[in-house]
Amino acid sequence: MKRRTFIAASLAGVGMVGYSALTLSQVVNLNDAINKGGRQRMLSQRMAKSYLALGLGISPSEADKTLAASMALFDRQLAELKAFAPSPDIKATYQQLEFKWSDFKAALVGEKPNQQGAANVLGLSNAVLSLANQGTVQLEKVSNKPVGKLVNIAGRQRMLSQRMASHYLAASWNVQAQSAKIEMLKARDEFLTAHDILVKAPENTERIAQELVLAEQQFVFFQAALQNLHIGSAEKRPMLEVFQTSERILQAMDDITNLYSRIS
């Protein structure tokens, strides 16, 4: 099946590949809104990662499915967040995001992934990320509760996992290589700082504390994979390790974010 046809079919309704802890219901409360708003940030980077993996020939079938599933989920959650928006300024943010998402979507599926297109995809992913983050921060302010902040921080870890991977792949493909490497390292440092905040949170349940330990263990493997960066390299195995390990970190942090969102 051709790539565009596959993605079009997948957008009709597919869950996240390798990413099980999702709800397909409408937004039920502010914690849920912060969780889903934060997940939009992650999806902006996961889609860029998948596009780059396709261009590099890294596990094309998995990357294609991941891209299609991420696009479908972004569409679905955007509709939910627009409907839930508790104030005019938040609704306006999600309307702006809808316009920028249209541009990003066109770049993702318009043609076969290539280096020139990859630079455009990275730029648009950043624009979508910025607006998705704006909406999440606005929702956290409405919540004005410590647990809302924790949902935001934990949810942002999902995005950072995908941002590290996408910029690793960009540098490997020699797409804005130096700036991509800088952004990758910046995201790594932000992830470590935020993890320390989460570990020390007094709201942590025993289950959350255990899950944070598991996430930290997963991050050891992820960080080791990230250290195998060679700009312009044609060696696919290190890139595949980054792609796959980033999915495991994503799952771990999504589980943790969901646990925080259920705290009343």
Q: Does residue 10 register a pLDDT over 60?
A: no
Q: Which residue would you say has higher pLDDT here, 14 or 56? A: 56
User: Can you tell me the mean pLDDT for 43-67?
Assistant: 97
11 in any annotated domain: no
Does residue 13 lie in a domain region? no
Question: What per-residue confidence (pLDDT) applies to 212?
Answer: 98
Least confident of 129-143, 171-185, 227-241: 227-241
Residue 250 has pLDDT above 80, yes or no: yes
In this predicted structure, what is the pLDDT of residue 13? Answer: 38
Name 115's Cβ contacts closer than 8 Å, sequence gap at least 6.
55, 173, 174, 175
Residues 6 or more apart in contact with residue 12 via CB below 8 angstroms: 72
Range of the domain at 125: 26-261
Give the model's pLDDT for residue 110. 84
Q: Helical H runs in 57-85? A: 60-84
- Is 16 within the bounds of a domain? no
pLDDT higher at 19 or 149: 149
The whole model's pTM is what?
0.91
Residue at 5 is within a domain? no
In a domain, 255, yes or no: yes
pLDDT digits (tens, 9 = 90+) for 116-160: 999 999 999 999 999 999 999 999 999 999 999 999 999 999 999
Has residue 10 been placed in a domain? no
Whole-Å CA distances, 151 to 64, 91, 225 = 29, 20, 27
pLDDT at 21: 41
- Mean pLDDT score, 245-259: 97
- Give me the number of domains the chain comprises: 1
Residue 25: per-residue pLDDT = 61
Average confidence score pLDDT of the chain = 91
